[in-house]
């Protein structure tokens, strides 16, 4: 027996957090009955329908994509724009772990494994996310120190982070800055720089935990190795 939201996540339908939301909204049926209790347990032999779809367990798949600009981080789009899922050649119902903005590029992981997704997204794991931002204007040490100590965005202070000036282009009045954060708040990096007076012209995520863009051009992807998957699962075991 296991919790319904965990079973849905393990079946590859969505993340456990999203599964919990669907249960609360009455979008999940077990043997023909709508279930809204998060504590509900199942054996896996039941007929489980999620948002109108009959649930069947899928073989797990894991991908690392070098997300290009102009592609949205979602599974479907009502405006028929290209999504990150469209770039992956698979018949499985995969979804992105977290999100990158439409104009942000770089490391993006996709899977149909809800537990794997939860480990990477959980704030307790402190997974490092490394970004490089091209800024309008020349950033100074004072602003960098403010970022390091945690600026306030959306009424909440960000955690302390690592920030390094990579180079400045005085001719074009731009700066290139790397920043390492552990949180995953909406538009966080752009809002952090805005809080110290700078507009982000370009943003690239170079690393998430152990995953980098090594060997991948823009728009290219690869499957994760069994070793990489086991390393992420070992984080959970270490809790």
Evaluate whether 50 touches 8 at the Cβ level (below 8 Å).
yes
51, 77, 86, 101: which one is catalytic? 101
CA 78 to each of CA 74, 75, 194: distance values in angstroms, whole numbers, following the listed order: 11, 10, 30
Token output for 37: 């209790």
- Residue 175 CA: distances (Å) to CA of 5, 137, 192, 198: 45, 6, 15, 10
Closest CA to 126 of 238, 213, 10: 238
For strands 33-34 and 28-30, give the pairing: antiparallel
SS3 (DSSP) at 33: strand
Establish whether 86 is a catalytic residue: no
User: Which positions are catalytic?
Assistant: 101
């Amino acid at each position: 027996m296991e919790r319904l939201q965990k079973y849905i996540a393990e079946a590859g339908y969505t993340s456990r957090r999203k599964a919990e939301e669907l249960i609360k909204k009455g979008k999940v049926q077990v043997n023909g009955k709508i279930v809204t209790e998060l504590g509900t347990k199942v054996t896996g032999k039941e007929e489980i329908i999620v948002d109108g779809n009959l649930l069947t367990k899928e073989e797990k798949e894991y991908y690392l994509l070098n997300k290009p600009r102009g592609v949205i981080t979602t599974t479907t789009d009502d405006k028929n724009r290209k999504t990150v899922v469209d770039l992956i050649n698979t018949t499985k119902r995969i979804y992105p772990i977290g999100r990158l903005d439409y104009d942000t590029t770089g490391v993006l992981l996709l899977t149909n494994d809800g537990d794997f997704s939860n480990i990477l997204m959980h704030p307790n794991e402190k997974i490092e996310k490394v970004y490089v931002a091209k800024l309008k204007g020349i950033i100074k040490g004072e602003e960098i120190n403010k970022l390091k100590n945690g600026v306030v965005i959306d009424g909440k202070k960000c955690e302390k982070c690592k920030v390094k000036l990579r180079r400045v282009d005085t001719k074009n009045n731009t700066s290139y800055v790397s920043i390492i954060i552990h949180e995953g708040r909406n538009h966080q990096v752009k809002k952090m720089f805005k809080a110290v007076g700078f507009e982000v012209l370009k943003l690239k995520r170079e690393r998430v935990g152990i995953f980098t863009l090594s060997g991948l051009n823009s728009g290219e992807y690869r499957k994760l190795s069994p070793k990489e998957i086991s390393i992420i699962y070992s984080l959970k075991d270490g809790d």
